[in-house]
């Protein structure tokens, strides 16, 4: 029997995390009912697949976060990922294999060719799915993500991230065939019954009842910090679930930040870099961004001049997308009507933002230390009673 494969390549900031978490949470049901296999080796296959096929894995952010700097160390990790993924695939009996990795969107053609050769070991016919998003919204969401990761706003808006539909999709046209590369518009999928996740399930060929069932699911990740934070968990040496008994977890969502929260996090990143030598700055709490992003206010937007630049720069790309797929998407990028001003962006002087961000950072650091002391008392109490916290 012919097995089919579906390769979801993102890009990032188009609902990939939500889709990956939902498929992972429902993987047993999908395999038992429909023969659809989403490998359980990881919620997201992003880090594994990119490390497996990029020329130099050391450039990958996941590899950097592991502290791997040598070619030998990166190759050991690559072989480990190949072994884990292939072992996971060998154990499963399926009709349809689904892999999802937003990192594949930017992979060079030589790596994509190697990827396809490997994929044919596990399915005979492959379809590639990618999602488009309005260029301004795409740039806005990516810049916020970069700021959460430690970058500074002024640096990011100087070179805003672009969609690059033609450049990236054309690679997969060449390797998989244009007829096998399918487009979904983020905005349309978001507005379908059940939202983005249900829309993605429909693209997988799942029946409507299953698509809606998976769309309603809201998986909780144990690695999302609870009220006391993941740093507190590690300092105590507690198992994940035990730590979550102290601080309740919450579902992971790539939610946008308010304008004020974005400006504060950016200012903090500039004054106290999040990472020093690849490690967390001791003057920064691991969860400080998670706390600051709770600040409510006007939604973050790009400065008018940056938004205009994104619209104009993306016109050829949008024109190619519409011509290639026979669509009428994002036509407002061709308008020269100037964007509205940002009333809140200029409401705070740089000095105000600098002082506020440092003050809030200090308060968050102190709260974290108080939480650590509380956790140690709880742990001591468990140990005194001979209770196993796991």
What is the C-alpha to C-alpha distance for residues 43 and 100, in angstroms, rounded to an integer?
A: 9
pLDDT at 348: 79
pLDDT at 380: 67
Cis peptide bond N-terminal to 233, omega within 30: no
What is the C-alpha to C-alpha distance for residues 159 and 324, in angstroms, rounded to an integer?
A: 27
What is the C-alpha to C-alpha distance for residues 224 and 41, in angstroms, rounded to an integer?
A: 18
pLDDT at 373: 58
Specify the pairing of strand 36-37 against strand 96-100.
parallel
List the beta bridge partners of residue 126: 5
What is the C-alpha to C-alpha distance for residues 225 and 243, in angstroms, rounded to an integer?
A: 9
What is the C-alpha to C-alpha distance for residues 128 and 174, in angstroms, rounded to an integer?
A: 12
CB 256 within 8 A of CB 144: yes
Q: Is it the case that residue 278 has pLDDT exceeding 80? A: no
In 3-state terms, what secondary structure has residue 183?
A: strand
Q: By CB neighbour count within 10 A (0-12 exposed, 13-18 middle, 19+ buried), where does 26 fall?
A: buried
Q: By CB neighbour count within 10 A (0-12 exposed, 13-18 middle, 19+ buried), where does 67 fall?
A: exposed
Average pLDDT on 270-288 reads 90
Enter the tokens of residue 2: 């012919």
CB 48 within 8 A of CB 41: yes
pLDDT at 300: 93
Q: Is it the case that residue 282 has pLDDT exceeding 80? A: yes
Enter the tokens of residue 278: 């690849």
pLDDT tens-digit map of 346-376: 677 889 999 999 999 999 888 775 655 555 6
Q: Is it the case that residue 184 has pLDDT exceeding 50? A: yes
pLDDT tens-digit map of 83-134: 999 999 999 999 999 999 999 999 999 999 999 999 999 999 999 999 999 9
What backbone torsions phi and psi does residue 298 show, to the nearest 5 degrees? -60, 140
What is the C-alpha to C-alpha distance for residues 19 and 21, in angstroms, rounded to an integer?
A: 6
The per-residue DSSP string of 71-97 comes to HHHHHHHHHHHHHHHHHHHHT---SEE
pLDDT at 138: 97
E strand intervals along 228-358: 275-276, 279-280
pLDDT at 234: 42
- Residue appearing with tokens 């933002």: 353
Average pLDDT on 292-304 reads 91
What's the whole-model pTM score?
0.83
pLDDT at 248: 30
Least confident of 45-59, 213-227, 238-252, 269-283: 238-252
Q: Each residue of 76-115: b (16+ CB within 10 Å) or e?
A: ebbeebeeebbeebeeeebebbbbbbbbbbbbeeebbebb
List the beta bridge partners of residue 299: 258
* Phi and psi based region of residue 35 (left: phi greater than 0; alpha: psi -120 to 50; beta: remaining): left
The DSSP element (H or E) to which 320 belongs, if any, is helix 315-325
What is the C-alpha to C-alpha distance for residues 223 and 58, in angstroms, rounded to an integer?
A: 24
CB 102 within 8 A of CB 11: yes
Average pLDDT on 283-288 reads 91
Contacts of 351 (CB under 8 A, 6+ apart): none
Angle at 353 between CA 351 and CA 355, to 5 degrees: 70
Tell me the pLDDT band of 226, cut-offs 50, 70 and 90.
very low
What is the C-alpha to C-alpha distance for residues 118 and 85, in angstroms, rounded to an integer?
A: 11
What backbone torsions phi and psi does residue 93 show, to the nearest 5 degrees? -110, 120
What is the C-alpha to C-alpha distance for residues 243 and 232, in angstroms, rounded to an integer?
A: 8
CB 15 within 8 A of CB 190: yes
Least confident of 51-60, 299-308, 373-382: 373-382
pLDDT at 376: 62
Average pLDDT on 2-10 reads 96
Average pLDDT on 196-224 reads 83
How high is the mean pLDDT of the chain?
A: 87
Higher pLDDT, 132 or 341: 132
pLDDT tens-digit map of 228-269: 344 334 444 444 433 333 333 333 455 689 999 999 999 999
Contacts of 289 (CB under 8 A, 6+ apart): 148, 265, 274
Q: Is it the case that residue 54 has pLDDT exceeding 50? A: yes
Q: Is it the case that residue 383 has pLDDT exceeding 80? A: no
In angstroms, what is the C-alpha Rg of the chain? 23
How much of the chain, in percent, has pLDDT values that exceed 90? 71
- Residue appearing with tokens 């940056």: 306
């Amino acid at each position: 029997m012919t097995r089919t494969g579906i390769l979801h390549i993102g890009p990032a900031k188009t609902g990939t995390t939500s889709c990956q978490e939902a498929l992972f949470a429902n993987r047993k049901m999908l395999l038992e009912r429909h023969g659809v296999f989403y490998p359980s080796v990881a919620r997201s296959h992003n880090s594994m697949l990119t490390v497996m096929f990029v020329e130099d894995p050391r450039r990958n952010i996941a590899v950097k976060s592991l502290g791997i700097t040598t070619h030998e160390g990166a190759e050991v990790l690559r072989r480990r990922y190949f072994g884990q993924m292939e072992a996971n695939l060998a154990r499963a009996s399926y009709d349809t294999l689904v892999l999802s990795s937003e990192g594949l969107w930017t992979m060079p053609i030589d790596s994509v060719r190697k990827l396809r050769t490997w994929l044919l070991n596990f399915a005979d016919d492959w379809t590639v799915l990618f999602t488009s998003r309005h260029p301004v919204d795409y740039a806005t969401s990516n810049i916020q993500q970069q700021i959460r990761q430690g970058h500074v706003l002024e640096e990011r808006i100087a070179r805003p991230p672009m969609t690059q539909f033609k450049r990236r999709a054309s690679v997969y046209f060449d390797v998989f065939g244009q007829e096998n590369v399918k487009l979904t518009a983020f905005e349309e999928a978001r507005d379908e019954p059940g939202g983005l996740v249900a829309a993605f399930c429909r693209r997988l060929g799942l029946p409507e009842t299953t698509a809606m069932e998976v769309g309603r699911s809201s998986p909780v990740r144990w690695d999302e910090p609870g009220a006391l934070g993941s740093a507190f968990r590690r300092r105590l040496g507690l198992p994940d679930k035990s730590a979550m008994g102290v601080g309740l977890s919450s579902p992971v969502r790539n939610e946008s930040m308010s304008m004020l929260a974005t400006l504060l996090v950016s200012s903090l990143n500039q004054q106290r870099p999040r990472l020093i030598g690849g490690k967390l700055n001791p003057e920064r709490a691991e969860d400080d961004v998670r706390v600051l992003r709770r600040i409510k206010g006007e939604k973050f937007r790009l400065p008018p001049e940056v938004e205009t630049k994104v619209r104009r720069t993306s016109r050829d790309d949008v024109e190619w997308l519409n011509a290639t797929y026979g669509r009428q998407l994002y036509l407002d990028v061709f308008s020269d009507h100037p964007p509205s001003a940002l009333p809140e962006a200029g409401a705070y002087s740089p000095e105000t933002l600098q002082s506020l961000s440092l003050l809030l950072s200090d308060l968050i650091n102190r709260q974290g230390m108080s939480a650590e002391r509380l956790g140690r008392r709880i742990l001591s109490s468990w140990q005194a009673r001979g209770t196993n916290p796991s």
